[in-house]
Amino acid sequence: MIKKIGVLTGGGDCPGLNAVLRAVVKTAMGKYGWDVIGFKDGYRGLVMNDYIKLSSKDVSGILDKGGTILGSSNRDNPFNFRLERNGNVEYKDMSERVMDNVSMHQIDCMVLIGGDGTLTSARDFARKGMNVVGVPKTIDNDLSATDTTFGFMTAVETATEAIDKLHSTAEAHHRVMILEVMGRYAGWIALQSGIAGGADVILLPEIPYDINSIADKIAERKQQGKHFSLIVVAEGAKPKDGDVVVSKIVENSPDPIRLGGIGNRIADDIEKITGNETRVTVLGHLQRGGRPVPYDRILSTRYGVAAVEMVNEGKFGKMASLQGNSITDVSLEDAVGKLKTVDPDGELIRIARSVGVGFGD
């Protein structure tokens, strides 16, 4: 018999996290009569036993709110946890403490909401015998075991709105405008926002670019009387003969490489080759913030309800997954470790090329 569940939000924040929490709490309490404990700041709360007992009142009015009422962290790996003692920093496996905390609270199952890093730890806890259920979260949409992660469509909406606004100023000043978007090593945000916003060039990690091909596209538009161009570039894009641009390295982070700066590199190259005035906008964390669009509110609610129903059915060690139009479940073993990237020969690439979009290849 399930009597109590725990929940946390791990990794980078993402539009829709609060909607998932709302669905988990309302379903667990209202449908099944369970207690719900929320751990603060991702796995840090689970290690440090920092928690609150959640009620329906706590999740009232948060469906449309960005961020997460529990807080989050993308630096705290419980299997390699950062500790400070007497001014010294050390890293220690704190997974047994997590197991003890879950047992102490008499939690029957943990609902772990996050991306690849959070769900990898979820898988590892399942291997240790903890009852866990995962919910896929990332604006990058790069988890291979689900068609769509919540938060992605809100990020696409934010990027598309930016393209729309850049279009008018690019046209007015006859400039090349570059929009750099997130996505790490997957180009989903760049591709979908680029298509939706009518970009002339879309640069993806999956299709290494040739700067001369981009320059040729700009020249072609000039010959057609179009004296401006819009370029959307994913932060993980790279030239055919080069590598990604790294903005900084965060030591001892689960994901130490921080991408960023590719937009400025391309802008410099374009100005040198074409002489066209080129400006760069880096959206950055704007894509993670703000109110989730209706699609993400609905998807988040579906995920949250499905996670609780999975707990009730004893489907532990699994992740809620969108397959087609249905929410189903997949093993955490199959859900992590492999990124879902854009197929260079896929339908979205094909339709973009058909309407004249260049990919720099």
Average pLDDT of the residues in 154-165: 97
Report pLDDT for 12. Answer: 87
Tokens representing 148?
């769509």
Q: What's the pTM?
A: 0.94
Residue 124 bears catalytic tag: no
251 has a pLDDT exceeding 80: no
Q: List, for residues 303-328, the tens digit of each pLDDT value.
A: 999 999 999 999 999 999 999 999 99
Average pLDDT of the residues in 244-258: 78
Angle at 321 between CA 315 and CA 327, to 5 degrees: 85
168 has a pLDDT exceeding 90: yes
Report pLDDT for 254. Answer: 65
The catalytically annotated residue of 13, 35, 76, 140 is: 140
Percent of the chain with pLDDT over 70: 99
Q: List, for residues 327-348, the tens digit of each pLDDT value.
A: 999 999 999 989 999 999 999 9
CB under 8 Å to 118, separation ≥6 — which residues? 10, 11, 42, 43, 112, 134, 137
CA pair distance 161, 18, nearest whole angstrom? 23
| Helical spans, DSSP H, in the chain | 17-26, 43-48, 95-104, 116-127, 152-173, 188-197, 211-223, 262-274, 294-312, 332-335, 347-354
Q: Half-sphere exposure of residue 323, counting CA atoms within 13 Å on the CB side? A: 10
Q: List, for residues 70-122, the tens digit of each pLDDT value.
A: 999 888 899 999 898 888 889 999 999 999 999 999 999 999 999 999 999 99
Q: 278 - beta bridge partners?
A: 176
User: Does residue 26 contact residue 56 with C-beta atoms inside 8 Å?
Assistant: yes
Tokens representing 23?
């669905």
Report pLDDT for 248. Answer: 81
252 has a pLDDT exceeding 70: no
Average pLDDT of the residues in 275-302: 95
Residue found under tokens 């003969």: 241
Percent helix, percent strand, percent coil in the chain, to nearest 5: 40, 25, 40
1 has a pLDDT exceeding 90: no
CA pair distance 349, 131, nearest whole angstrom? 40
Higher model confidence: residue 295 or residue 13?
295
CA pair distance 10, 44, nearest whole angstrom? 9
Mean pLDDT of the chain: 95
| Environment class of 179 (CB within 10 Å of its CB; exposed 0-12, middle 13-18, buried 19+) | buried
